[in-house]
């Protein structure tokens, strides 16, 4: 494979550094902790790591509020620590991708400190400022995803500033060319340091409508969303004007031109819009982003029909682009809890690794997914997420998927010698890395075996995808490239199912380690609970 296109078909392992491993005893994970566990990550058979933000930040949104794009926050270590992580990862054959949060900064960033000071300073228009309406109310009806209006009054300027997220995360004004240039220069800093790629947070939020038009209301029956609850007023609007503006496309082209100066450097955009699949198709391509992913498979709908429709819709809209699929990350309930019934978590966890890794595209696996971690129960007194605190108890926030990695069954799961920033679930300690390492049939060893087997299957890495008309709960498709044709089938239920294959009935099943294997008998597909069939023809 072309070394510069390593990302096509790659498995990218997301590390949430706060919760990976604490080495200095402050209860928060750090870069030396990542360094210490890179051999473990390499043992999974993944191709790259994506490290969530470790930059200087007041941590109002746990690093997604950046105060200095070029500095490592002391909570996580030093720039030299990052260089050591980069060097060791490369020595292990792992690429390194870092989060870049471009659309907004922390309120403590020097740019904002200067911008808020007056209406005539050199950075007065680096953020989105607007006058109040005649009655003193905000400029329009835009809302923050974290609840409430998206405007905050600033008495120093006598104006409102825009924040699509927390009020301490002011939005940059990307209509200003100087902001774009400074942003690209910060990206260049990390590319020069040797990173292999960027995961671009909320990349469709960089530009806003300069006319500040009101977002139209959304009918009650359509008030659902990805990553936020239906009772969040954010769901009450069509978000046509506060993000996903056409000017963003030119900026993506400039970003791609910068990346193309670094052979092998890649980009993965997080996209959440009113039609995320259409936006992804628009954003991903030879002159724009290398890959994109959205929240479509991060929802509660686990039906075969929904998965098929999602993939087929994107395939139709983006025939020449490259998707990336994820079913878990640091923002949503863990997939085993979201898609399971609480009785067959280990079998389901193995199936989910195989499922997300068998779709056409690249894959993001979130730390702990290889262990089959469930969503942790967090009491209100232990909550850290401002989103969950604001919406408790209807929505408990994101802390339940962010609890520390359980390395052992000991105190704090071997994550830290001191009290962790979030409690370690007892249920997680029981399925720790140490315990699963010693169990040949564990989710961990199953994930390792499957991901290493996948590397030898060209159809799964690079092939096309075409779905068969299978009944629920069977998801069935064909992956095909010049070297291999493969039938793939998943039973998404916890009961055995059978189905007569309308075609490819003579396909020959092959062993896919780490899965509960089904069979093909006289042209009939036989799938045990959570069963999987891979067959060549």
Cβ pair 184, 253 in contact under 8 A: no
Q: Are 99 and 14 in contact (CB under 8 A)?
A: no
Residues in the chain: 537
Q: Count CB atoms within 10 A of the CB of residue 528.
A: 16
CA distance linking residue 231 with residue 224, whole number of Å: 8
**From 270, 345, 369, 385, active-site residue:** 270
User: How many angstroms separate the Cα of 295 from the Cα of each of 178, 225, 298?
Assistant: 31, 9, 5
Helix axes 177-193, 79-91, angle to 10 degrees: 60
Residue 425: exposed, middle, or buried by beta-carbon count in 10 A (0-12, 13-18, 19+)? buried
498 CB-side CA count, 13 A: 8
DSSP state of 178: H
Nearest C-alpha neighbor of 128 from the set 96, 80, 159, 162? 162
Residues 6+ apart with CB under 8 A from 500: 523, 524, 525
Q: Residues 164, 244: contact at Cβ < 8 Å?
A: no
CA 354 to each of CA 88, 297, 334, 358, 513: distance values in angstroms, whole numbers, following the listed order: 28, 14, 16, 6, 10
CA distance 12 to 291: 12
The pair phi, psi for residue 256, each rounded to 5°, is -65, -40
Q: Is the peptide bond before 393 cis (omega within 30 degrees of 0)?
A: yes
Element holding 307 (H helix, E strand):
helix 304-317
Write out the two tokens for 521. Answer: 């008998």
Closest CA to 277 of 247, 300, 299, 302: 299
- Within 106-188, strands assigned E span 129-130, 151-154, 159-162
Contact 101, 53 (CB under 8 A): yes
CA distance 476 to 357: 14
Number of helices (H) and strands (E) in the chain: give both, helices first.
15, 21
Q: Are 164 and 150 in contact (CB under 8 A)?
A: yes
Phi and psi (nearest 5°) for 525?
-85, 125
Known active-site residue 201: yes
Among the listed residues 355, 366, 287, 284, the one whose alpha carbon sits nearest the alpha carbon of residue 323: 284
Instruction: Given the residues 65, 99, 201, 385, select the one marked as catalytic.
Output: 201
Inter-axis angle of helices 304-317 and 276-283, nearest 10: 40
For residue 486, the 8-state DSSP code is: E
Please indicate whether residue 315 is annotated as part of the active site: no
Residues known to be catalytic: 201, 270
């Amino acid at each position: 494979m072309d070394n510069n296109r390593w990302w096509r078909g790659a498995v990218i392992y997301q590390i949430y550094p706060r919760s990976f491993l604490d080495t200095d005893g402050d209860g928060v994970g750090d870069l030396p902790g990542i360094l210490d566990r890179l051999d473990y990550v390499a043992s999974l058979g993944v191709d790259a790591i994506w490290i969530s933000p470790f930059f200087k930040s007041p941590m109002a949104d746990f690093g997604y509020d950046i105060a200095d794009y070029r500095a490592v926050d002391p909570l996580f270590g030093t720039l030299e620590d990052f260089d050591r992580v980069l060097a060791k990862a490369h020595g292990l054959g792992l690429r390194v991708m870092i989060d870049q949060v471009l659309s907004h900064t922390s309120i403590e960033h020097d740019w904002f400190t200067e911008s808020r000071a007056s209406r005539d300073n050199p950075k007065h228009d680096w953020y989105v400022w607007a006058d109040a309406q005649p009655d003193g109310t905000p400029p329009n009806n835009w809302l923050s995803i974290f609840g409430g209006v998206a405007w905050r009054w600033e008495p120093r300027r006598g104006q409102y500033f825009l924040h699509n997220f927390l009020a301490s995360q002011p939005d940059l004004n990307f209509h200003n060319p100087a902001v774009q240039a400074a942003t690209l220069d910060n990206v260049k800093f990390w590319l020069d340091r040797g990173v292999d790629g960027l995961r671009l947070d909320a990349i469709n939020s960089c530009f806003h409508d300069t006319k500040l038009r009101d977002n139209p209301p959304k009918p009650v029956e359509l008030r659902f969303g990805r990553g936020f609850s239906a009772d969040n007023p954010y769901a009450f609007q069509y978000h046509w004007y506060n993000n996903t503006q056409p000017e963003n496309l030119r900026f993506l082209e400039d970003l791609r031109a910068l990346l193309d100066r670094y052979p092998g450097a890649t980009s993965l955009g997080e996209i959440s819009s009113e039609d995320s699949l259409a936006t992804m198709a628009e954003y991903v391509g030879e002159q724009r982003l290398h890959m994109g992913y959205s929240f479509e498979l991060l929802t509660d709908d686990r039906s075969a029909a929904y998965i098929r429709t999602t993939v087929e819709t994107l395939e139709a809209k983006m025939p020449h682009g490259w998707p990336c699929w994820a079913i878990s990350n640091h923002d949503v309930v863990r997939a085993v809890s979201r898609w399971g019934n609480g009785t067959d978590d280990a079998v389901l966890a193995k199936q989910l690794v195989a499922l997300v890794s068998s779709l056409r595209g690249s894959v993001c696996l979130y730390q702990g997914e290889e262990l089959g971690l469930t969503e942790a129960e967090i009491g209100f007194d232990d909550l850290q997420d401002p989103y969950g605190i604001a919406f408790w108890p209807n929505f408990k926030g994101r802390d339940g998927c962010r609890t520390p990695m359980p390395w052992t069954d000991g105190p704090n799961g071997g994550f830290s010698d001191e009290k962790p920033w979030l409690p370690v679930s007892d249920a997680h300690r029981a399925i720790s890395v140490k315990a699963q390492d010693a169990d040949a049939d564990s989710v961990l060893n199953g994930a390792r075996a499957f991901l290493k087997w996948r590397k030898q299957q060209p159809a799964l890495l690079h092939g096309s995808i075409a779905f068969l008309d299978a009944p629920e709960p069977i998801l069935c498709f064909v992956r095909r490239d010049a070297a291999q044709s493969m039938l793939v089938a998943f039973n998404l239920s916890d009961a055995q199912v059978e189905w007569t294959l309308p075609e490819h009935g003579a396909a020959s099943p092959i062993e896919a380690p780490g899965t509960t294997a089904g069979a093909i008998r006289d042209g009939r597909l036989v799938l045990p609970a959570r069963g999987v069939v891979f067959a060549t023809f």
